[in-house]
């Protein structure tokens, strides 16, 4: 059977065909821009020396990273004593800061593991919750300095910076266990256990921030890579911190990066796109997406920048605590704004 093929007729037909080949890619490009355009402008100047306040944060971050990834080292259920030592370290810091620490324990391979929570009750909207979280386990075979002692250090320092503030919403700092494989995206992932319990309890989580691999920064051109199609929209110098969310968390991404850019002299990039795209759901925020909560990841983009990702070479001296100090102070301002000024977030449908 002969198959007929459509051919344009006359100059008008050829014009319409060519126009279609131009318009369709343009529409796709404009659609993608909706995912990547963020409020305000990213800082583009040099990295200036740390202020006195930033230097203090730097010193504390360095202490945490070296304690967790250096003195303790690899920590997971195959290094159970070290996992428990890391949990004890985090609980000790919570206590020093005046928080009442709570544990959510559950069993994995006949071992008791736990998420660790510190809470500060809000005053006017106490039933609405803002969570700052980071996983404290490391992948098998790695001391996990950047992944994710850097995130835990940032969590602890944000908890310190906000410990004296009175906020409208309830603020929780949660250190999650079992983020790494083989528990990643399973029922034994610590954040999955936590988010599922929140859903069962009917908790109103207005925002969740996942601090994931946040300590690698470079001014070298070509130091940053991306999965398709993000390389068309973002810089190829890995000197920025990323704000990453799915479409349901788009307003939270925009609010968070907007505050960060207004208040912090540090490069930042943001994306709010379908969660199935490569890399967007690669941490504990994914667990909260599964329960319908708005959640975003704060990250240096991990393996797309950090060459020692998931390796034995992910050691404490690799973490850039100077730049992380500036990021942490900026993130503390973001969290305080989201938790403290509900009028700007109450329309975000931030909870189930």
Q: Please report the domains of the chain, with CATH numbers, ordered by start residue.
A: 48-344 (3.40.630.10)
CB of 253 within 8 A of CB of 30?
A: no
Higher-scoring residue by pLDDT: 211, 343? 211
- Residue 229 CA to residue 312 CA, distance in Å, equals 30
What pLDDT sits at residue 342?
44
Tokens of 233: 């929209």
- Residue 51 CA to residue 259 CA, distance in Å, equals 20
CB of 319 within 8 A of CB of 149?
A: yes
What pLDDT sits at residue 15?
61
What pLDDT sits at residue 229?
83
The predicted-structure confidence for 280-332, as pLDDT tens digits, reads as follows 999 999 999 999 999 999 999 999 999 999 999 999 999 999 999 999 999 99
What pLDDT sits at residue 231?
86
- Position 333 pLDDT exceeds 60: yes
- Whole-number percent of the chain with pLDDT over 70: 87
The predicted-structure confidence for 19-50, as pLDDT tens digits, reads as follows 555 555 544 444 555 678 999 999 999 999 99
Higher-scoring residue by pLDDT: 147, 25? 147
The predicted-structure confidence for 78-113, as pLDDT tens digits, reads as follows 999 999 999 999 999 999 999 988 999 999 999 999
What pLDDT sits at residue 104?
98
- Residue 266 CA to residue 242 CA, distance in Å, equals 11
Q: How many CB atoms lie within 10 A of CB 35?
A: 21
What pLDDT sits at residue 12?
65
Residues paired with 173 in a beta bridge = 118, 132
Overall average pLDDT of the 193-199 stretch: 98
Overall average pLDDT of the 115-123 stretch: 97
**DSSP-derived secondary structure letter, 132:** E
The predicted-structure confidence for 52-71, as pLDDT tens digits, reads as follows 999 999 999 999 999 999 99
Overall average pLDDT of the 115-128 stretch: 96
What pLDDT sits at residue 13?
61
What pLDDT sits at residue 76?
98
What pLDDT sits at residue 6?
54
Average pLDDT, the chain: 91
**DSSP-derived secondary structure letter, 277:** S
Higher-scoring residue by pLDDT: 346, 11? 11
Angle of helix 250-263 relative to helix 321-340, nearest 10 degrees, comes to 120
- Position 345 pLDDT exceeds 90: no
Alpha helical stretches, state H, the chain: 10-36, 52-65, 80-96, 150-161, 190-201, 250-263, 285-290, 321-340
Give the pLDDT band of residue 343 (cuts 50, 70, 90).
very low
Q: How many CB atoms lie within 10 A of CB 148?
A: 34
Give the pLDDT band of residue 347 (cuts 50, 70, 90).
very low
């Amino acid at each position: 059977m002969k198959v007929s093929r459509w051919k344009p007729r006359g100059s008008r037909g050829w014009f319409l065909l060519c126009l279609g080949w131009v318009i369709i890619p343009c529409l796709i490009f404009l659609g993608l821009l909706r995912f990547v355009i963020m409020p305000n402008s990213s800082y583009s100047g040099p990295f200036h020396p740390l202020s006195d306040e930033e230097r203090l944060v730097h010193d504390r971050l360095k202490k945490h990273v070296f304690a967790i990834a250096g003195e303790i080292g690899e920590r997971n259920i195959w290094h159970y004593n070290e996992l428990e030592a890391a949990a004890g370290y985090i609980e000790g810091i919570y206590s020093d800061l005046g928080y009442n620490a709570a544990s959510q324990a559950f069993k994995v391979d006949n071992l008791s593991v736990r998420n660790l929570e510190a809470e500060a009750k809000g005053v006017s909207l106490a039933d609405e919750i803002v969570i700052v979280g980071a996983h404290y386990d490391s992948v098998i075979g790695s001391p996990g300095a950047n992944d994710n002692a850097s995130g835990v250090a940032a969590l602890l320092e944000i908890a310190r910076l906000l410990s004296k503030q009175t906020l409208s919403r309830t603020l929780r700092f949660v250190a999650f266990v079992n983020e790494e494989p083989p528990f990643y995206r399973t029922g034994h992932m610590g954040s999955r256990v936590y988010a599922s319990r929140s859903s069962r309890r009917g908790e109103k989580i207005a925002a969740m921030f996942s601090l994931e691999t946040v300590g690698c920064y470079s001014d070298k051109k070509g130091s940053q890579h991306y999965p398709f199609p993000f390389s068309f929209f973002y810089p190829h110098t890995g000197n920025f911190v990323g704000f990453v969310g799915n479409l349901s968390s788009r307003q939270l991404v925009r609010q968070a990066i907007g505050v960060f850019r207004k208040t912090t002299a540090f490069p930042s990039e943001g994306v709010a796109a379908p969660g199935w795209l490569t890399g967007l759901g690669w941490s504990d925020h994914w667990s909260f997406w599964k329960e319908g909560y708005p959640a975003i990841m704060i990250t240096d983009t991990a393996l797309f920048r950090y060459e020692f990702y998931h390796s034995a070479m992910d050691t404490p001296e690799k973490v850039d605590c100077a730049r992380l100090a500036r990021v942490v102070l900026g993130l503390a301002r973001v969290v305080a704004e989201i938790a403290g000024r509900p009028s700007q977030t109450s329309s975000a449908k931030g909870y189930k």
